[in-house]
A and B are shown apart, each in its own frame.
Chain A
């Protein structure tokens, strides 16, 4: 190798290094940005989360246990579980149906249907509650019909369930749809040509491909269903019997209870949120490893 060639190689290497250096920020800037992010996220996300547990146990573990197992808290927990156990499966079945017909078929008006499904995302919780006040109110036809037949919808459990279904409506389908669309229809067509029946195709071919997306949607749907506040508050009004956990927290906070009481009840929901985050992370990891396998 001549001296001239060596010099060219050296120059080339220097140039490469300078390019590598110039496609990231200087070390000082990097450290500054990381520190800023960690500080911001800690102040805004971590501190509030930790403070819930701290406040909950401030009056002692005994008080905590009493606040959580108190009759009103138990009734609120039951109401929350009732609304969740109905709305999540209902939206799961709907999500699978909608994803199948939108993801596997080509038809006119598809984009309109997708936009309509997204509507509950765009409607704020209080307005969602308001919709059902109008629908089942004393001035509406439906409201009069239900009243005459002795059913109580508003300010009672049915409206809690219905409004929870409304606010969590798009969660499952929004997660499944992109995955089912990316899968295409070749595998199902092959199964069909080989003689598989409809349900068989769904259980054996489609569902294994989308199972993590389904779980992901269910996790998000569940978190929202358990935590909905504004919409439920509107349809329930001031009837403590139908309080859900978030409403019970509000009642304790606004009332004359011990300041630790709302936080004690809030730990239940905070634990649910932490579990949601962990599960979500796990499913994301599963999804990305499934993607890299394919």
Chain B
């Protein structure tokens, strides 16, 4: 009787559309959900709220004052400028490499494909000293270049190209593999030349993935620190990026507030990019759904 009443209660009280959790025969929801939310709060949410607490004394005037500081403003320009250049180079070269890896068969293709993930796997400090070494005046590549690379914004950009490359390639590869070859055949049989097919059929299909990869590479570049440190040298006003400004502010007296202000700007940019990537995904899905 109790069982029956219990069952009846469950069905009648909450209409299916308003239920927080859909019923399932599988066990463990409460346990895993509890653990997940607890761990997430302890590791991510509470520390993150600490940053916002630290900025509670920051007034808008102070914020503007910090941002107008010459070194801070220069680091902003360098960070965003170099990240943008690096992401653009990555978008172009990443597109070519991804296309070659998916479409063509040649000796060493698998090795090349494996190497793509090297910037993910290699710690930034290691890639940092390696890049600094080969682009130094006597380095393997640096000795052939007419301009100095180390300690210049070009060096910073090179390091950012290195760390952002896998993002574009790994986002584009599945998209290129997913292209319906029949579309290309249709286009060709309707009389389109190869470059027309590429520009009018292939490129538009790949553009969401390309933009996503570009945005991810840009976001990663904006936040990068380790690999830039060695090749750029973090010379204030010349090769110092935002991450380094935060660090040097921290070592100053009463530097926590300026550091957190710069951090807030960087956070806003990263979350903005994350939002943008999600919007692109939604837009691409909708467009794809309409096309079907």
Contacts and interface: CB of A to CB of B under 8 A. Distances in A.
B280 interface: no
Interface residues of A, number: 100
Contacts of A220: 120
Contact of A24 (B29, B103, B226, B271): B103
A234 interface: yes
B35 A94 contact: yes
Given A15-B189, A30-B104, A49-B122, A189 B274 contact: no
A253 B133 CA distance: 11
B50 A135 contact: yes
A182 interface: no
A292 to B, nearest CB: 15
Interface residues of B, number: 97
Contacts of A226: 123
A26 B194 contact: yes
A198 interface: yes
Nearest to B110: A281
Interface string B183-197: 011001100111001
Given A105-B26, A126-B243, A230 B226 contact: yes
Interface string A180-209: 000001001100110001100110000000
Interface stretch (B64-72, B93-101, B147-155): B93-101
Contact of B26 (A44, A104, A262): A104
A36 B194 contact: no
A52 interface: yes
Contacts of A38: 108, 112
Given A166-B43, A227-B126, A262-B129, A126 B115 contact: no
B73 to A, nearest CB: 18
Contacts of B236: none
A131 B125 contact: no
Nearest to A266: B126
B39 A250 contact: no
Contacts of A26: 194
Given A22-B193, A48-B131, A277-B118, 7 more contacts: A51-B130, A104-B24, A130-B246, A162-B43, A230-B124, A262-B129, A266-B130
Interface of A: 15, 18-19, 22-26, 30, 33-34, 36-38, 40-41, 43-49, 51-52, 55, 93-94, 97-98, 100-102, 104-108, 113, 116-120, 122-127, 130-135, 137, 139-140, 162, 165-166, 169, 185, 188-189, 192-193, 197-198, 201-202, 220, 223, 226-230, 233-234, 245-247, 249-250, 253, 262-263, 266, 269-270, 272-274, 276-278, 280-281
